[in-house]
């Protein structure tokens, strides 16, 4: 498992400044400041920042072994300002390893060289170390077991860096736990009777854990207590026409995901409903919108993804419904459900897909660049990896 994949580069194609991607349905052009397309050997459903210039991806297909890679961003993508043409525009493999199981979730522990991953066929976690030397290896260092994780499933995870690195993990609301990564010591376990399946786990801060069930309920716990009861603090308001949907959640700490220094919670349903919530008052939604999906057909929830823009005020993005990533401005949203219109739609994975017309690529995940306001990375089921900087159609700087 600790072998390093063959060193090399991921070849790219680039659209120059002012590039246009034409939508074959609406005929409305999507304008980009930059658009780079790459092809991975195996599709990934994780893109995790491990530094200002590095991200991790990992395979999840049907192979016996799956690559876990740390990629070095091209110099052009590391510059804080667009610098025109750049002779070096490919990702390089910084270090890598192999896993004998697919990776469905991957988290980097801030301030350390540790990674934690999860994926089927059970709920156990794998711990890795990034070897920052000439060997360039991502080395497995241990395993953490999850309560009730023996079945054909996988654990949701989140990490925090406190006095010692912690991982928050679980399969159901009743089996959430916090484990110290280095020692394997259990720090916290839930004492809840809720058996709902988990969709998302996050840390609101160093001591407060947030859980979102697939039904859209929110639960919180103070992990300083050895064992705690997570009470349901907010049911997702659902329009009758959206019954039966499943939910995912995200926590925002930056400009678009914070309220006077406090984090904000966003939930996304398979019915295209988005609910924004203040964790200090989770019983009453701050804002709601519907229609944040491309079609009226109820999709699955496997790749649902919602994310706050870390450098833009009241801006978020959603994906997982098709081959697009949709960006929304939430300024005008209110507490009553209203129809949402995207500010920008990235359709690059639709046009670059090699899967054929009868099997269109789905976006598996996306993430915002930490300091370039309108730059995102997105991946799809066909192995494509895109980096794009979108031009605000309103003409804002």
Query: Using one digit for the tens of pLDDT, what is the confidence trace for 255-294?
Result: 877 777 789 999 999 989 999 999 888 888 899 998 887 7
Instruction: Burial-class residue 145 by CB neighbours within 10 Å (0-12, 13-18, 19+).
Output: middle
Rounded to whole angstroms, the Cα distance separating 380 from 344 reads: 18
What DSSP state is assigned to residue 311? Answer: S
> Residue 27 pLDDT more than 70?
no
Between the CA atoms of 172, 173, 175 and 180, what dihedral angle is there, to the nearest 10 degrees? 110
**Confidence (pLDDT) at 260:** 73
**Confidence (pLDDT) at 21:** 53
> Residue 97 pLDDT more than 90?
yes
* CA-wise closest residue to 390 among 365, 368, 359, 357: 368
Question: Are the C-beta atoms of residues 206 and 166 closer than 8 Å to each other?
Answer: no
**Confidence (pLDDT) at 166:** 92
**Confidence (pLDDT) at 237:** 54
Rounded to whole angstroms, the Cα distance separating 45 from 78 reads: 22
* DSSP per position, 285-353: -SEEEB--SSSSS---STT-EEEE-SSSTTEEEEESSSS-EEEEE-TT-BSS--B---SEEE-HHHHH-
> Residue 179 pLDDT more than 90?
yes
Strands of the sheet containing 344-346, edge to edge, are 305-308, 315-319, 325-329, 344-346
Residue 377 or 356, more confident? 377
**Confidence (pLDDT) at 229:** 61
Supply the mean pLDDT for the chain: 83
Rounded to whole angstroms, the Cα distance separating 353 from 291 reads: 25
**Confidence (pLDDT) at 357:** 53
| Confidence bin at 235 (pLDDT 50/70/90) | low
Does 121 sit behind a cis peptide bond, omega within 30 degrees of 0 on the bond before it?
Answer: yes
Query: Using one digit for the tens of pLDDT, what is the confidence trace for 33-55?
Result: 888 888 999 999 999 999 888 99
Query: Using one digit for the tens of pLDDT, what is the confidence trace for 307-332?
Result: 999 999 999 999 999 999 999 999 99
Q: What angle do CA 328, 219, 227 make, to 5 degrees?
A: 145
Rounded to whole angstroms, the Cα distance separating 182 from 162 reads: 13
Cβ partners under 8 Å of residue 359, min gap 6: none
| Confidence bin at 131 (pLDDT 50/70/90) | confident
Cβ partners under 8 Å of residue 196, min gap 6: 172, 173, 213, 214, 215, 217
Rounded to whole angstroms, the Cα distance separating 37 from 207 reads: 39
* CA-wise closest residue to 68 among 38, 51, 93, 37: 93
Rounded to whole angstroms, the Cα distance separating 261 from 255 reads: 9
End-to-end CA distance of the chain: 46
Instruction: Burial-class residue 235 by CB neighbours within 10 Å (0-12, 13-18, 19+).
Output: middle
| Confidence bin at 234 (pLDDT 50/70/90) | low
> Residue 84 pLDDT more than 60?
no
**Confidence (pLDDT) at 284:** 87
Rounded to whole angstroms, the Cα distance separating 178 from 180 reads: 7
């Amino acid at each position: 498992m600790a072998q390093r994949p063959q060193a090399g580069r991921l070849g790219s194609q680039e659209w120059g400044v002012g590039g246009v991607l034409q939508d074959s349905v609406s005929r409305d052009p999507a304008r980009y400041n930059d658009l780079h397309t790459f092809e991975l050997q195996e599709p990934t459903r994780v893109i995790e920042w491990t530094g200002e210039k590095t991200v991790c991806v990992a395979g999840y297909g049907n192979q016996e072994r799956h690559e876990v890679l740390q990629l070095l961003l091209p110099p052009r993508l590391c510059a804080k300002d667009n610098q025109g043409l750049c002779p070096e525009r490919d990702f390089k493999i910084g270090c890598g390893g192999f896993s004998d199981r697919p990776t469905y979730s991957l988290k980097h522990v801030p301030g350390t060289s540790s990674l934690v991953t999860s994926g089927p066929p059970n709920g156990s976690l794998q711990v890795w170390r990034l070897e920052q030397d000439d060997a360039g290896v991502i080395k497995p260092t241990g395993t953490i077991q999850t309560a009730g994780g023996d079945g054909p499933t996988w654990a949701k995870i989140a990490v925090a860096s406190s006095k010692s690195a912690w991982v928050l993990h679980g399969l159901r609301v009743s089996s959430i736990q916090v484990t110290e990564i280095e020692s394997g010591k259990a720090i916290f376990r839930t004492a809840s009777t809720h058996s709902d399946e988990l969709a998302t786990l996050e840390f609101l801060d160093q001591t407060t854990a947030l859980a979102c069930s697939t039904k859209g309920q929110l639960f919180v716990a103070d992990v300083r207590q050895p064992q705690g009861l997570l009470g349901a603090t907010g049911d997702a308001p659902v329009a009758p026409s959206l019954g039966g949907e499943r939910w995912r959640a995200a926590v925002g700490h930056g400009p678009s995901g914070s309220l006077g220094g406090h984090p904000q919670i966003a939930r996304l349903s398979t019915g295209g409903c988005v609910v924004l919530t203040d964790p200090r008052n989770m019983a009453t939604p701050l804002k709601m919108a519907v229609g944040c999906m491309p079609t009226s057909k109820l999709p699955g929830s496997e790749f649902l993804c919602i994310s706050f823009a870390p450098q833009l005020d009241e801006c978020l993005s959603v994906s997982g419904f098709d081959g697009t990533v949709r960006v929304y401005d939430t300024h005008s949203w209110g507490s009553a459900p209203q129809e949402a219109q995207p500010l920008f739609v990235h359709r690059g994975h639709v046009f670059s897909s090699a899967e054929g017309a009868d099997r269109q690529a789905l976006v598996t995940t996306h993430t915002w660049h930490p300091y370039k306001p309108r730059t995102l990375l997105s991946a799809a089921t066909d192995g494509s990896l895109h980096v794009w900087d979108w031009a605000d159609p309103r003409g804002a700087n």
